[in-house]
Amino acid sequence: MSAAAVLLVEIQVASATSLKDKRAVVRRLLAGARHRYPVASAEVGAQDLRQRAELGFAAVGAKVSQVESLLDALERFIWSHTEVNVIAAHRYWVDTDA
């Protein structure tokens, strides 16, 4: 049985004084996540807000425990970046039995 999940993370980039500043931070964070973990990632919300961003990550694995471990590590990676404040993080599991 395979497992798939989506992680949505809402962040604040307090140091951003423009959308360009925010996008630079978001770009680095997304690229780092893709480089370090086998996930798809994108900025999925709050694109027009200067200091907020909503990031989406998708992960697929052979087992639920594998995907949970991956998303745990990914969340720790995001929390470790001092230039962002995590406001909220939510996981949504995809039904793979359909």
Is residue 96 over pLDDT 80?
Answer: no
Q: What is the pLDDT of residue 48?
A: 87
**pLDDT digit string (tens) for 36-47?**
999 999 999 888
What's the structural domain count of the chain? Answer: 1
Identify the band that residue 98 occupies on the pLDDT scale cut at 50, 70 and 90: low
Q: What is the pLDDT of residue 46?
A: 86
Look up the domain containing 56 and give its range: 3-94
Rounded to two decimals, the pTM is 0.88
CATH (domain of 86)? 3.30.70.1120
**DSSP conformation class of 18:** S
CB 59 within 8 A of CB 71: yes
Average pLDDT of the chain, as a whole number: 91
Beta strands across the sheet bearing 40-45: 40-45, 52-61, 3-12, 85-94
Q: What is the pLDDT of residue 47?
A: 83
Cβ contacts of 73 within 8 Å, gap of 6 or more: 37
